[in-house]
Structure 1
């Protein structure tokens, strides 16, 4: 049987059932998984002169043992091993904690190398490990540190990786085609993997990392291009030849003129709708940029042709709000629209599903309820998902599959830089609303410490007396022993007592029953509540133009994008609006976020800063978006490589001989032949 790096790790020596289970817990199932289980960091174990070492620096010291090793015990399970070394006429103390078994390795008069942490004041090295001779070390001056677990040690992982190389190094494929290796001056994948585990120098680590990152990005982008090619190949999409005159008349009825950016993205979307191919488009726009109106135009275009549309949103509050605003736009035009959520009464749900199935409904708005069994459309032609990152890949697919060749539009108010969006979401076309409607007044943002909260309450009262309303946002619903953060219940009680009946305070959180949430929001909209204390349940889409003040407690607990979303709940009317961040950050990162929030209201700029500070995981929501967790590459730090990989993947997938050229054999195998099946390269 032919060996491949996709063989089970059980083929290696020293891997029995128990060790196999421990490896599986780390996500290591195959030789490939093991070889790509890269170090999380490297320890510099090269020997240094005593005069070169900084305090608390990790270092390797080599000298002769000049005292017998002594083990002293303190406490039931604690002990200390101590001895002395002489290094260049200087005598230092070495201490190991809870490693009494090392005593047999320490022989008076013999030379020994110890890796540990140096205490310059006390001239003591707290030992971490005793190193063998340099000839025994694969890494030379560096030692790899791996992600491990209780069932398997670092040293065992390194030993198994060494064994994997011994038995499988001739089977490591060169996935990146030769011309790209030459173009980008990449070392071989074999050498890159070896150097990732056993680097001889900083330069070798750098070259290895470049190759590994480019390869994983190339594979990701190839798969994105294949998805795109399949979508175009499916290609017999619905050509929605709506009446252009009717659509223009609808746009003219809107209570304001579209911005240039809105007009541009409407043209892009409507052009897709008219084409006999699937629309698969991402619409990005900052908070308040007018994505809902763009969605309404697309919905009307679909209705004009006689097909049904679905608009799925993450929360009932947002669904109800969309229902309200779209009903106002569509009712005069006799567009039949309905709302379906988890709170829809059984009798109403039955009627809605019946009307949906027989074609009496044009537009269905709802939450996850739209993807439940029993929800059947007569002719679903357009699917719009708002705040698409809140839904899993499978959830979005379930809705799309309720129609035949339905066009798909994803919307998000969590903007990312255009080039990054195009590259990261390689399977989608990207439209961006990068202009705010005329007359929007920038929100004034300030940051205060918790001890000054009384002043904020006075400021809120000043705004309330002018007839405005306010939000106060808290991270938690009830008191938590594990986190020192203000909770919504406590703040609600404090504000109710403070305003003493002068103003009415409401409480809103995700654990409330739907009808109670609806009641609170309705009271807030109708101004019978002046202050709304809430958790982040109001983060997306809530629209109360009379609310002018947003206070966010423990603001340093939130990322920039979420803070920006929350801030976007005010400033939706014609009054000047304010956002007050209440925080006492304990980290530089937290302080930086507070500072950035007070300096800009540009969501795209904030998203760039969020990417820099927190990485892509929080912004994209990897588990939800379908973006992989790259082993080494970072889509922000390594954006140049990601973009280069996108361009090369696009070139490769459009080559007529891609399926036959021997130079691409390893690449085709790495992608998977099932993925390539049925694709037309002519």
Structure 2
């Protein structure tokens, strides 16, 4: 078999079992991992005239060792390694490392070394802090990598160099060539090599362009692949009663905006489709996202399926449940509330109702994803403020119907430009409510500095005197569904 860059790094020369374990601690197991273990910065080892270096400035100097290193011990366990270094061809400086006696073995007479330390101009001495591993002869900068105890920079550089020496031909080009040509991108083998050992700063910049473009390309490709998979995956079709839904909408105390109508139509089309709905609804605060979610619940209800709406806090879950019941209780529909703060008896009643199908609509917090919550026929899952939940938490609720993929509707008040929405939620269809209901006051947002606090207090006082309410939003140290 030929070389494969997914081979374990123990295939590389100089990488034994001990080094394999150390690399695993920094997330490197394969040759590919090693090639993508990029330096987080470069040390400059460019030649600088000593006269341009400020006293006490931290700098890296490169030169030839012209005297053997000598170790002197003093004050018990304290020590100093000293030697002379010829820099800029003819200038001789002193180099001292304190309390690192083992460095004597790493420094040899006549050797080229790059040393990072603090310059003392009056003594013409560099107080060494560490030896820098220069990757190539004549290179004016050295890569610095994330490491772990026992894994030296020199070992990382040597291993990465070995990976390219042995596996350069095994690096596959990922991007289509026409994209490389169109955006003037380096081939992947050269780009990866230049991320570690660039010939100059411009080549490193071009390598970075290629790696960043490829990362975003693959990210979008995966999202599009996920969307295509959803569209071929068998889903739960909800044959809702359109006439019944129109009747319920006609009994609402206010008229839907055109934007709300459009989003409701998009959701209803998804419910009727043969693949599961994966839709994100975005809209500013006050645009009527919650009502759209409630109408999606009614559509699911008319088709004979249960719905669950999960909110990040108990307060919000209670508000949603109260709003739903105020709007639709007179039409014979009621939503149950489920939170972890409920008594065991009340909670069990809801669990029993969901399991036997007597409860068709439930609104709750994280309590909805507990294993004890079982549905008779769950058809629609709605996640409010979806950014407040992890991927696993959202999936846990979707998986409550283990027979077939249910329909998922997520809501966010965070304004997301279309391009960013497609990037972040490329695996979902995006609907936007871009109109406020009639009579809704526009929201004014102001940013005040600390020296304007008195102005804020005066404004609050005026609002209170006018009989209005004021509320503060304060950050929590830890998230809580109760607060």
Asked if the contact 2:239–2:303 (Cα under 8 Å) also holds between the matched residues in 1, the reply is: yes
2:448 aligns with 446
- Corresponding residue for 2:100? 99
Partner of 2:208: 209
The answer to whether the 8 Å contact 1:12/1:164 transfers is yes
Residues 401 and 441 (structure 1), Cα distance of their counterparts in 2 relative to 1, 3 Å cut: closer
CA gap of 1:251–1:121, structure 2 versus 1, over 3 A, is farther
Task: After TM superposition, give the deviation of residue 93 of structure 1 in Å.
Answer: 5.5
Deviation at 1:106, TM superposition (A): 7.2
- What secondary structure, in the 3-state scheme, does the structure 2 residue paired with 1:43 have? strand
How many angstroms apart in 2 are the aligned matches of 1:3 and 1:444? 60
Any residues of structure 2 matched to 1:399-478 within 5 Å, and which?
Answer: 399-403=397-401, 404-437=404-437, 438-448=440-450, 464=464, 466-472=466-472, 475=475
The 1-side partners of 2:473 and 2:72 are apart by 56
Of 375-384 and 323-332, deviating more is 375-384
Distance of aligned partners of 1:105 and 1:410 in 2 relative to their CA distance in 1, 3 Å threshold: closer
Per-residue deviation at 1:199? 0.8
Where do residues 95-494 of structure 1 align in structure 2 (5 Å cutoff)?
Answer: 95-102=96-103, 114-116=114-116, 119=119, 125-129=126-130, 137=136, 140-235=139-234, 237-243=236-242, 245-403=243-401, 404-437=404-437, 438-448=440-450, 464=464, 466-472=466-472, 475=475
CA deviation profile, 1:503-557 (whole Å, cap 9, x unmatched): xxxxxx967xx8xx6xxxxxxxxxxxxxxxxxxx4xxxxxxxxxxxxxxxxxxxx
2:20 is the alignment partner of 1:20? yes
Distance 1:440-1:368 versus aligned 2 partners, 3 A rule: same
Q: 2:11 maps to which residue?
A: 11
**8 Å contact kept, 1:285–1:433:** yes
Greater Cα shift, 139-148 or 23-32: 139-148
Are 1:61 and 1:114, in contact at CA under 8 Å, matched by a contact in 2?
yes
Relative to structure 1, the CA distance from residue 24 to residue 215 in structure 2 (aligned partners, 3 Å threshold; closer, same or farther) is same
Q: What is the aligned partner in structure 1 of residue 59 from structure 2?
A: 58
Q: TM-score, normalised by structure 2?
A: 0.84
* Corresponding residue SS for 1:373: coil
* Cα pair distance change 1:43/1:258, threshold 3 Å: farther
Per the alignment, residue 547 of structure 1 pairs with none
* Distance in 1, Cα, partners of 2:107 & 2:223: 57
| Conservation of the 8 A alpha-carbon contact between 1:239 and 1:276 | no
TM-score by length of 1: 0.62
Deviation for aligned residue 1:457: 6.8
> 2:307, 2:360 within 8 Å by CA — same for their partners in 1?
yes
Q: Helix, strand or coil: the match of 1:365?
A: strand
Q: How does 1:533-682 map to 2 (within 5 A)?
A: 537=483
Superposed CA deviations along residues 61-105 of structure 1, whole A, max 9, x for unmatched, are 547869996857578557575757675887765444443444577
Distance 1:196 1:64, change over 3 A: closer
Tell me how far apart the structure 1 counterparts of residues 447 and 183 of structure 2 sit (CA, whole Å).
46
Give the superposition deviation at 1:334: 1.1
Q: Distance in 1 between matches of 2:3 and 2:65?
A: 47
Matches of 1:182 and 1:87, distance apart in 2: 42
CA distance in 2 between partners of 1:188 and 1:386 (Å): 44
Larger radius of gyration: 2
Would the alpha carbon gap of residues 343 and 142 (structure 1) be closer, same or farther in structure 2, given more than 3 Å must change? same
Structure 1 portions without partners, runs of 5+:
478-508, 518-536, 538-682
Encode CA deviations 1:363-404: one digit per residue, 9 max, x unaligned.
111122222224222222211111222222232222212233
Structure 2 distance, partners of 1:263, 1:54, is: 69
> CA 1:196 to 1:270, structure 2 compared with 1: closer, same or farther past 3 Å?
same
Once the two structures are TM-superposed, the CA of residue 205 in structure 1 deviates from its matched residue by 0.8
Measure, in 1, the Cα distance between the counterparts of 2:67 and 2:25: 44
Measured on the aligned residues, the alpha-carbon RMSD in Å equals 3.6
The answer to whether the 8 A contact 1:72-1:81 is kept is no
Equivalent residue of 1:446, what SS? Answer: coil
Gap change, CA 1:398 and 1:95, over 3 Å in 2: same
- Offset of 1:342 from its aligned partner? 1.6
Aligned equivalents of 1:392, 1:318: Cα separation in 2: 18
Deviation at 1:238, TM superposition (A): 0.6
Once the two structures are TM-superposed, the CA of residue 466 in structure 1 deviates from its matched residue by: 4.8
Change (3 A) 1:256 1:10: same
| Maintained 8 Å contact 1:284/1:413 | yes
Contact 2:276 / 2:405 at 8 angstroms: preserved in 1? yes
Tell me, yes or no, if the aligned pair for 1:336 and 1:360 is still in contact at 8 Å: no
8 Å CA contact retained: 2:283, 2:415 = yes
1: CA distance, partners of 2:108 / 2:273: 81
Could you tell me how far apart the structure 2 residues matched to 1:33 and 1:106 are? 31
Change (3 A) 1:114 1:340: same
Deviation string 1:129-150 (CA, Å, 9 cap, x unpaired) is 4568x8x726822211111111
Distance change >3 Å, CA 119–CA 462, structure 1 → 2: farther
